[in-house]
């Protein structure tokens, strides 16, 4: 089990945004993190990558916590953020090179892989440009290439389908498929339910900073009493619950 979250409570200030969160992302599977705006998806991801410190609870990746062994913990994660922010002074080529250096990847072995990805995302002719000036979608592609060149055990992808063009989404899903087949765990937060339903093996439904339900589609259909319901229907049922309370 690559990612295990145990009773995680945390947030930005004194007020916790996520409360007593419990779920895991198994190896070789795609886990979709689903919830309304403000349900705590991005906050959860920020806790996993260590930008926020948990108030209580623990996050382990491959049996290691950030406090025990920060380098091994970070080495195991690759992350594609929702809002891409790149180094303003580095060219595309230098971003890729720096990533290889930081993750101690063999440059001769990695470059062919990277070149193939650049070709796919139509970035190959922009190696000497500053990606800071790219459009949002292109920046996201740069971050995807940086993330997917690593041998991380856990891939965190925050809202990947909003800035990318349809071709980009398709190419990203192909990369995700490749990593899943190789045995990595993938955690993806999204609002785009149709795509999530197609790609994900299991779902984690967040509501008000807690886990409302987890499981694959059949299990969710049972839990919400919606046999043959689509993920859309289940999602709506969950939001209505919130309205009743």
Partner 1 sequence: MNKLWKTRLARHSKEQFKYLQLVFNDHFVLALIILLGALLYGYSQLIHDLTPQWWFTPALAAVLALVVGLGDLATLAEGADATFLLPRTSDFAGYLFRARRYSALLPLATLLLATLAAWPLLGVLHHGDWLSLGLILLALWLFKDVDLWLQLLGNYTLHLPIWLSRAALILVAWAGLMAGIWIHPVITTAVALACDLLLRWRIGDWFQPAQLDWQLLIKRESARMGRIYRFYNLFTDVPGIGGGVHRRKYLDVFTKLVPKRYASSWAYLYVRGFLRRTEFFGLFLRLAVIGAAILAFVQQWWLAGLFALLFVYLVGFQLLPFYLAYDEIVFTHLYPLSLKQKKSSFGRLVLVLLLLMAVILAVGAALSGAWLKVGVVLAAGVALAVVFALWYLPLRLAKLDAR
Of 5, 18, 77, 185, the residue at the interface with partner 1 (CB under 8 A) is 77
Residue 102 gets the label, from left (phi > 0), alpha (psi -120 to 50) or beta, of alpha
In the bound complex, what is the minimum distance in angstroms from residue 87's beta carbon to partner 1? 6
Of 51, 116, 174, 182, the residue at the interface with partner 1 (CB under 8 A) is 51
Whether 92 contacts 139, CB under 8 Å: no
Two structure tokens written together for 90: 């580095």
Is the CB of 72 or the CB of 182 nearer to partner 1?
72
Interface with partner 1, residue 94, by CB under 8 A: yes
Interface with partner 1, residue 146, by CB under 8 A: yes
Using CB under 8 A as the binding criterion, the count of chain residues that bind partner 1 stands at 32
Of 29, 132, 201, 233, the residue at the interface with partner 1 (CB under 8 A) is 132
In the bound complex, what is the minimum distance in angstroms from residue 157's beta carbon to partner 1? 13
Whether 115 contacts 64, CB under 8 Å: no
CA distance 220 to 234: 8
C-alpha distances in Å from residue 50, one per residue of 9, 29, 59, 139: 14, 22, 10, 22
List interacting residues with partner 1 (CB under 8 A): 49-51, 70-75, 77, 79, 81, 85-91, 94, 97-104, 107, 130, 132, 146
């Amino acid at each position: 089990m690559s990612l295990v979250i145990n009773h995680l409570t945390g947030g930005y200030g004194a007020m916790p945004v996520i409360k007593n969160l419990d779920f895991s992302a198994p190896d070789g599977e795609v886990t979709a993190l689903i919830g309304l705006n403000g349900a705590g998806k991005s906050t959860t991801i920020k806790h996993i990558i260590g930008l926020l410190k948990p108030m209580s609870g623990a996050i382990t990746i491959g049996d290691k916590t950030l406090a025990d062994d920060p380098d091994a913990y970070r080495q195991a994660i690759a992350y594609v953020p929702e809002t891409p922010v790149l180094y303003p002074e580095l060219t595309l080529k230098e971003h890729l090179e720096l990533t290889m250096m930081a993750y101690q990847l063999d440059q001769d072995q990695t470059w062919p892989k990277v070149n193939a990805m650049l070709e796919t995302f139509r970035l190959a002719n922009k190696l000497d440009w500053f990606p800071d000036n790219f459009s949002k979608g292109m920046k996201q592609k740069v971050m995807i290439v940086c993330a997917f060149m690593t041998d991380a055990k856990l891939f965190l992808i925050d809202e990947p389908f909003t800035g990318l063009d349809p071709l980009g989404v398709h190419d990203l899903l192909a990369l995700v498929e490749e990593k899943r087949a190789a045995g990595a765990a993938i955690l993806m937060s999204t609002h785009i339910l149709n795509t999530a339903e197609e790609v994900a093996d299991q779902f984690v439904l967040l509501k008000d900073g807690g886990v409302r339900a987890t499981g694959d589609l059949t299990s969710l259909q049972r839990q919400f009493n919606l046999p043959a319901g689509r993920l859309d229907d289940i999602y709506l049922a969950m939001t209505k619950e919130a309205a009743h309370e």
